[in-house]
Amino acid sequence: MVRSKLYRLQTRFVWLSIAPILFYLAVFVVYPLGASIYYSLWDFFWNEFAGVANYREALFEDPKVSEAFVNTLLYAVIRIPPTIILGFFIALALNRIVVGRGAMIFGFFAPYITSVVAYSAVFLYFFSSAGLFNIVLQAVGLPAQPFIRGVEQALPSLALMDAFKNLGFDVIIFMAALQNIPHPLYEAARIDGASPWQITWNITIPLMAPTILFLVVVISIWTIQVFEPMYVLTEGGPLGSTRTVVYLIWEAAFRNGRLGYAAAISVMLFLAIGVISLIQLWLGRTRWEY
Amino acid sequence: MAIELHPAQTFRMPRAFSVPRTAIWLFMAAASFLVFFPLVWMALSSFKTSEELWRYPPTIWPEEFSFEGYRYIFTQLQFGRYFFNSVFIAVVSSIIAVLTSALAGYVFAKFQFRGKDVLFIAILASMMIPGTVLLIPRYVLINWLAWTDTYWAVIIPQGISVFGIFMMRQYMHGIPSDYIDAARVDGVSEFKIFAWIMLPLCKPALAALAILSFIDSWGALLWPLVVLNSPEMRTLPMGVAGLANVHGPQLYYMLPAATITVIPIVIVFAIFQRHFVNAMTSSGLK
């Protein structure tokens, strides 16, 4: 078949245009994925092949690993539901507000886009023994709390700080999704005499279900990989109570030089995230038809 | 699709609860201020003297503005350098990200070619891979390339954004192909068509992507921490985190450091809020 000149030029343009992406995918995504598995079978400390030794150690011998997974799960459970629930109602309310809406969106959303490190720095003060939170608590007669210095309180403190910071993301996504609900649905409901609560429960929330699912899955994937708050505020402590999986991986690889071990844990994390996401998607499959 | 930030609303959304409107407004105003408050406190307190910072009862507005913290971090520590590093890396990453995403997005939106669907699925799949599992091999790769402690180690992985491709493709789908066809008939080269016809038509999406890329790059900690070693190469988040890990009076310096990390982003966001929100919502929906 004779290829026209135009066709050849177009083809060349196309392949040149996607070359960077191909390069990136091959070098920085596909190769590392395979390499992770390969490295996890090595012991970098003694520079020898280790087989499944890393996995055996991580799964059965090292208490820090299971502890890290538990911490991370706990962190996610504290961090995610409040933002979704609060975010939903805030978005509902914001959609009805006309005056000053832009400013309110700004207030909610600005913390989301600022650097986690900077935001954590502020909370270093808020959480400290002479810091704002304790001042407020003591002013109303409650005892001062250790917050990030307390073994029990450190993880929830960080999780709530995280939730507070990222609330704006949920709000924005919900606001956009709410605006996609066709108005005639609401009109029809009101004509039929539905009460406001009925409207919310039977129309808004079911129509929001895909958005809620999307948020839960995406935020879970990100939250499970949290690192910065621990690094900035608690260094995994006190007593390892804020050591999350990624923090553990970083520690193992770049503090202790055990790259193979860290790679094994990261492969485990990858699988765990995959399983969790699939479970979430399966549980959230929509049952309503329109 | 865009969030309508336009004040005029002819349709009244139904209420979730039967609560008076002003109560909701007051509550929302208070809540949004509360969430924003830590940033306000941070900026104001960065100008306080170390004594006033820890004073009881605490003050919000500084009694006297002291630049001591700022002076220290710029002269005794190297925050001027950290600032430059962050700016350089973020700007270059954003430019690369915008250009590569626009090109690739254009090709996906307007062309057909062998393997297109497979490649697109591959791109989508790669977005789902959690970054942690790629961390260590990427580090080993950077090491092997002798790129540790260079700007490129940070810029290249950040500069190519699969999310960006996705976003540009969505946007370009909506642009009619007539201009392109007309230009082809006139014999304009493909690249010129892209550069002089498509790109100008995509300005909102390009701006949004540039801003998102900039913000992502600016706030990143883990990857720069892994590949950058020497103090001169540190980024702002690394600098702030470094101050955090030495307890005690360091908070006094952390606040100015955190403020200079946050202020540029907040200003950019305040100016471009509408575009930014539009970009986030149009790409976040599936």
User: Which residues of chain A fall below pLDDT 70?
Assistant: 1-3, 286-290
Please tell me which residue of chain A has the smallest CA distance to B217: A115
| pLDDT interval class at B5 (50, 70, 90) | very low
What pLDDT score was predicted for residue A204?
82
Rounded Cα gap, residues B222 and A232, in angstroms: 11
Q: Do B136 and A233 touch (CB under 8 A)?
A: no
Interchain proximity B160–A24, CB inside 8 Å: yes
Is A196 close to B5, i.e. CB distance below 8 A? no
Residue B42 clears pLDDT 50, i.e. is over it: yes
Strand ranges, E, within A15-109: 42-43, 48-49
Closest among A277, A288, A83, A79 to A201, alpha carbons compared: A288
Q: What pLDDT does residue B246 have?
A: 63
Q: What is the mean pLDDT of chain B?
A: 84
How far, in Å, CA of A120 to CA of B165, rounded?
31
- Return the CATH fold of B71-284: MetI-like fold (1.10.3720)
Average pLDDT over residues B219-248: 87
For residue B248, is pLDDT > 70? no
Burial class (CB in 10 A: 0-12, 13-18, 19+), B33: middle
pLDDT at B181 exceeding the cut of 90: no
pLDDT of residue B280: 64
Cross-chain CB nearest to B137 (options A32, A93, A123): A32
User: Is A72 within 8 Å of A226 (Cβ atoms)?
Assistant: yes
Residue from B143, B166, B154 nearest B222 by CA: B154
* pLDDT grade for B10, boundaries at 50, 70 and 90: very low
First and final CA of chain B: distance in angstroms?
12
Strand partners, A49: A42
CA distance A109 to chain B (A): 8
User: Is there a contact between B255 and B45 (Cβ–Cβ < 8 Å)?
Assistant: yes
Q: Of B218, B213, B219, which Cα lies nearest the Cα of B167?
A: B213
**Alpha-carbon span A154 to A241, nearest angstrom:** 7
Residue to substitute from B83, B135, B142, B243, interface A, most A β-carbons within 10 A:
B135
Chain A residue with the nearest C-alpha to that of B244: A232
Amino acid found at B47: F
Closest partner residue to A197 (CB to CB) among B17, B137, B243 is B17
Q: pTM for the complete prediction?
A: 0.87
User: Per DSSP, which regions of A44-131 are E strands?
Assistant: 48-49
> C-alpha angle with apex A24: A22 to A28, nearest 5 degrees?
130
Instruction: Assign B3 a pLDDT band (cuts: 50, 70, 90).
Output: low
Contact A18 B104 (CB under 8 A): yes
Out of A101, A117, A221, closest to residue B240 by CB:
A117
Residue of B15, B27, B35 for testing the chain A interface, max A β-carbons within 10 Å: B35
Q: Distance between CA atoms of A215 and A207, rounded to whole angstroms?
A: 14
| Shortest Cα distance, chain A CAs vs residue B24, angstroms | 7
Chain A: residue whose CA lies nearest to B58: A132
Please report which confidence band the pLDDT of residue B249 belongs to, taking 50, 70 and 90 as the band edges: low
Q: Give me the total of CB pairs closer than 8 Å, taking one residue from chain A and one from chain B.
A: 317
| pLDDT exceeds cutoff 50 at B7 | no
By three-state DSSP, how is residue B62 classified? Answer: coil
Q: What is the ipTM of this complex?
A: 0.86
Q: Which is nearest to A79 in space by CA: A210, A270, A229? A: A229
Q: For testing the chain A interface, which of B87, B95, B136 should be mutated: the one with the most A CBs within 10 Å?
A: B136
Residue-level pLDDT at B11: 46
Instruction: Please tell me the distance from the alpha carbon of residue A137 to that of residue A16, in angstroms, as a whole number.
Output: 62
Q: Is the pLDDT of residue B208 over 50?
A: yes
- B124-to-A174, A214, B36, B156, B165 alpha-carbon distances in Å: 23, 15, 34, 20, 10
Contacts of A221 in chain B (CB under 8 A): 128, 130
* Angle at B236 (CA atoms; ends B234, B242), nearest 5 degrees: 70
DSSP code of residue A3: P
pLDDT single digits (tens) B76-100: 888 999 999 999 999 999 999 999 9
